[in-house]
Amino acid sequence: MTTTAQPPFVLHYIFDPLCGWCYAAAPLVKAARSVPGVTLRWHGGGMLTGAHTRTITADWRGHVMPHDQRIAEMTGQPFGPAYFDGLLNDLGAVLDSEPPTTALLAAEELAGRGLDMLARQQQAHYVEGRRISDPAVLQELARDLGLDGEAFAQAFQRLSGAATQAHITQAREWLNLAQGQGFPTFALEFDHPEAEQPGQRAIQRIDIGPWLGDAQGWATQLGEWVQQVAAITAGEQTAPQGEDCGPDGCALPKS
């Protein structure tokens, strides 16, 4: 991918607000935000939109509960009684990813707080058992973050529809570029002096499985990658060769 004036090390996060495994990865997102040298860019992928919108049924509850319980065991992420015993029994409640994605865009536009809104949405859904596809609930979450209610409502209305759908389309393009299979997908983008085309950026998908439940280890690894990429760019470390480089990018050096 050819770009100009890009930060040297970008971590792309492709997710959905209603994705349980994205909630599992939330501590990794929080940790990445504090790693020096990492620019974090987020992309809401619209998992439950259009024909894929869902309503809560007994079958849906039976489908997601084992995953949620496994996430809790693996990562320590909390799931509240209001979610397990409340929301998942709220038969007919709509699960639509588009409104919460619009809320992320509105929070980002107003105050650069899209990821803060995501964290608040996940807490509201998985701990408090609230309907985060409901615009009225999203308005309350914006107030929880200290955002101006009227300004948020106006931004939400303006960004609904075409703007949100364009964001989702771009997020799915990033998912394809990263060769991701679903949500969440993390991918690194960085300068590479030995890429096949001038100005080409390396794109490397990251398997986060080893770090689920280990946010500190993840932050440490990100810091090491930042240093490795800086060393390659400065010519202080040899760049990957052969099969590690191709028309779509170059891999990070092996640790």
pLDDT per residue as tens digits for the range 220-241: 999 999 998 888 777 666 544 3
In one-letter notation, the amino acid at residue 210 is P
Give pLDDT, residue 202: 87
The three-class DSSP label of residue 222 is helix
**Which sequence spans correspond to the domains of the chain?**
49-167
Q: How far apart are CA 181 and CA 187, in angstroms?
A: 12
CA dist., res. 9 & res. 231, Å (int):
12
Share of the chain above pLDDT 70, in %: 87
| pLDDT, tens digit (0-9, with 9 covering 90-100), for 109-154 | 999 999 999 999 999 999 999 999 999 999 999 999 999 999 999 9
> Among candidates 10, 49, 5, which has minimal Cα distance to 177?
10
Question: Which one, of 250, 150, 208, lies nearest residue 27 by Cα?
Answer: 208
Give residue 249's pLDDT. Answer: 37
Structure tokens at 52: 């894929």
Sign of the alpha-carbon torsion through 187, 201, 115, 88? negative
How much of the chain, in percent, has pLDDT values that exceed 90? Answer: 81
Report how far apart, in Å, the C-alpha atoms of 154 and of each of 101, 102, 110 are.
Answer: 15, 12, 10
DSSP 189: E
Residue with structure tokens 């807490």? Answer: 123
- The whole-model pTM stands at 0.89
Best CA proximity match to 41, nearest among 74, 1, 12: 12
What CA–CA distances, in Å, run from 255 to 43, 221, 228?
Answer: 28, 9, 9
Residue 129's alpha-carbon distances to 126, 158, 164, 225, in angstroms, are 6, 27, 24, 37
What one-letter code names the amino acid at 196?
A: E
49-167 architecture in CATH?
A: 3-Layer(aba) Sandwich (3.40)
